[in-house]
Amino acid sequence: MTDILDDEQRLLRARVSLTQQIDRGSVVLSSQLAGAFLNVPRHPFVPVFYRREGERFVPWRITDRDADAWLDAVYTDDSLITEVDGVHAEQAGARGVTGVPTSSSTAPSLMADMLDALDVNEGDEVYEAGAGSGYNAAMLCHLAGDAHVTTVDRSGTLASLARERLNAIGFDPLVIHGDGAHDVPHDAMYDRIIATASVRRIPPLWLERCRVGGILVVPIKGTLAGGMIARLTKRPDGTAVGRILHTPAAFMPLDTGTESEVRVPEIPEGPCGAAELSGRVLDDWTFSFFAQLHMPHGLLRTYGQSADGLHVTTLYDPADGSATRVEDLPEGAPLVTSTGPRDLWRPIEEAHRRWRRLNRPRREWFGIEATPAEQTVTYTTPDGQIHRWTT
């Protein structure tokens, strides 16, 4: 084992470097947040993480190769994948695994942006849905005091490791193995609620357990990659209202154990027509946020390449079996093929025209309101016209 983790000056320089990286970006660090990043180490929470090698995810330990390179990677402003298809990096063999990442240590600048929005003060009661590595919970402990922090994770492995590592650096928050959307401690009330995994809609229980005047910071994501982060304040009538943060965020979904996998079907050849837009437009995060507002709940998207190496997007709505394929061609307009009762691409093209007419409004110009029954996103134009979507 290398002695690098015993070199306090080297570790301090690493934390200073990370804090400077965050501060040079789009986040303006308050003195409290800067103090948290300077004083809370990241490396105890990610002793092993995955690095990509082609299609595989290979675990990287400090003992595997250059220790300085490992430490630099830990203290770089980037997310670190810690679990793939439920296999934690510490449990993976040397050859690694293939699959889909299911947990990660969030990029510190995104953590900073969300923590700044949360505005945690000493003594605030804080609930975190998604303990993950425990690093964000450690920040919350530094800001509020560990006796005031509760963090929940559905993975027993992640909850156990987070508790162990938080304890190792002197923090003892309440760490729960459970469903972050439902397993809120009985009768507990919170001044601050934060999620480090995305939800389609803010769970009613979070609204119920947030004190009046309290703040919720929650990643909200549907089908498309460019999700949004909502910052809301609890009102006396039980609802919460706020705005969307400027930062796009593709957090992994909060696992409640009730999800079922739905496969997008193959679309047979049939009647087709010309599209105005390529399916690649949904990869533009400046538009995909707006497009998502026009997509029904449950709509799925897959994408890839045709035999000619050109982009293909497929949309599928399990509610009525409608499916639409949009494929780029070597020349001319993309081709649209639909099956089922609806053409799913037409509303996306209409949304794009509307987005252009509104002069491509940024996500931070949108408001959001959440009630126990529904969630609404609004945009008010300079002339006072209000556009509203139920999400």
Cα separation, 253 vs 196, in Å, equals 9
Does residue 245 have a pLDDT over 70?
yes
Q: How confident is the model over 186-230, as pLDDT tens digits?
A: 999 999 999 999 999 999 999 999 999 999 999 998 888 768 999
Q: Are residues 48 and 194 in the same domain?
A: yes
Entry pTM: 0.92
Does residue 260 have a pLDDT over 80?
no
User: Is residue 24 assigned to a domain?
Assistant: yes
Question: Which CATH number belongs to the domain containing residue 87 in this structure?
Answer: 3.40.50.150
Does residue 1 have a pLDDT over 70?
no
Q: How confident is the model over 9-31, as pLDDT tens digits?
A: 999 999 999 999 998 887 889 99
Q: Which residues of 105-137 are buried (b: 16+ CB within 10 A; e: fewer)?
A: bbbbbbbbbbbbbbebeeebbbbbbbbbbbbbb
Tokens of 177: 């193995």
Please, what is the average pLDDT of the chain?
93
- Mean pLDDT score, 26-44: 93
User: Is residue 381 assigned to a domain?
Assistant: no
Instruction: Check residue 391 and give its pLDDT.
Output: 86
Q: Are residues 139 and 282 in the same domain?
A: no
Q: Are residues 118 and 203 in the same domain?
A: yes
**Where is average pLDDT lowest: 88-92, 100-104, 331-335?**
100-104
Cα separation, 228 vs 231, in Å, equals 10
Please state, in angstroms and as integers, the Cα–Cα distance from residue 268 to each residue in 88, 159, 201, 314, 348, following that order: 39, 45, 34, 12, 22
Last residue of a domain, one of 244, 264, 294: 244
Q: Residue for token digits 């193995």? A: 177
User: Is residue 317 assigned to a domain?
Assistant: yes
- Mean pLDDT score, 282-290: 93
Domain count, the chain: 2
User: Is residue 366 assigned to a domain?
Assistant: no
Q: Are residues 186 and 78 in the same domain?
A: yes
- Mean pLDDT score, 126-148: 97
Instruction: Check residue 223 and give its pLDDT.
Output: 83
- Mean pLDDT score, 278-284: 95
Residue 72 near residue 51, CB atoms below 8 Å: no
Q: Are residues 44 and 125 in the same domain?
A: yes
Domain that holds residue 25: 3-91+102-244
Does residue 261 have a pLDDT over 70?
no
Q: How confident is the model over 149-191, as pLDDT tens digits?
A: 999 999 998 999 999 999 999 999 999 999 999 999 999 999 9
Instruction: Check residue 256 and give its pLDDT.
Output: 59
- Mean pLDDT score, 297-301: 90
Cα separation, 297 vs 278, in Å, equals 22
Q: Which amino acid type is present at position 293?
A: L
Cα separation, 212 vs 215, in Å, equals 9
Tokens of 47: 């002793």
Cα separation, 49 vs 138, in Å, equals 18
User: Is residue 364 assigned to a domain?
Assistant: no
Instruction: Check residue 150 and give its pLDDT.
Output: 98
Q: Are residues 239 and 276 in the same domain?
A: no
Q: Are residues 276 and 235 in the same domain?
A: no
Cα separation, 292 vs 330, in Å, equals 28
- Residue 297, phi then psi, degrees to nearest 5: -60, 135
Q: What angle do CA 130, 136, 142 make, to 5 degrees?
A: 130
Residue 343 near residue 349, CB atoms below 8 Å: no
Cα separation, 282 vs 299, in Å, equals 13
- Mean pLDDT score, 80-95: 92
Q: Which amino acid type is present at position 231?
A: R
User: Is residue 251 assigned to a domain?
Assistant: no
Packed helices 135-144 and 108-118: angle between N→C axes, nearest 10 degrees: 30
Name which residue leads in pLDDT, 391 or 333: 333
Q: Which amino acid type is present at position 273?
A: G
Q: Are residues 135 and 240 in the same domain?
A: yes
**Where is average pLDDT lowest: 4-8, 265-269, 328-332?**
265-269
Instruction: Check residue 153 and give its pLDDT.
Output: 95
Cα separation, 290 vs 364, in Å, equals 12
User: Is residue 258 assigned to a domain?
Assistant: no
Helix, strand, coil content of the chain in percent (nearest 5): 30, 30, 40
**Longest Cα pair distance anywhere in the chain, in angstroms?**
68
Q: Are residues 182 and 315 in the same domain?
A: no
Q: How confident is the model over 304-363, as pLDDT tens digits?
A: 999 889 999 999 999 999 999 999 999 999 999 999 999 999 999 999 999 999 999 999
Please state, in angstroms and as integers, the Cα–Cα distance from residue 66 to each residue in 2, 16, 72, following that order: 9, 21, 10
Packed helices 108-118 and 8-24: angle between N→C axes, nearest 10 degrees: 70
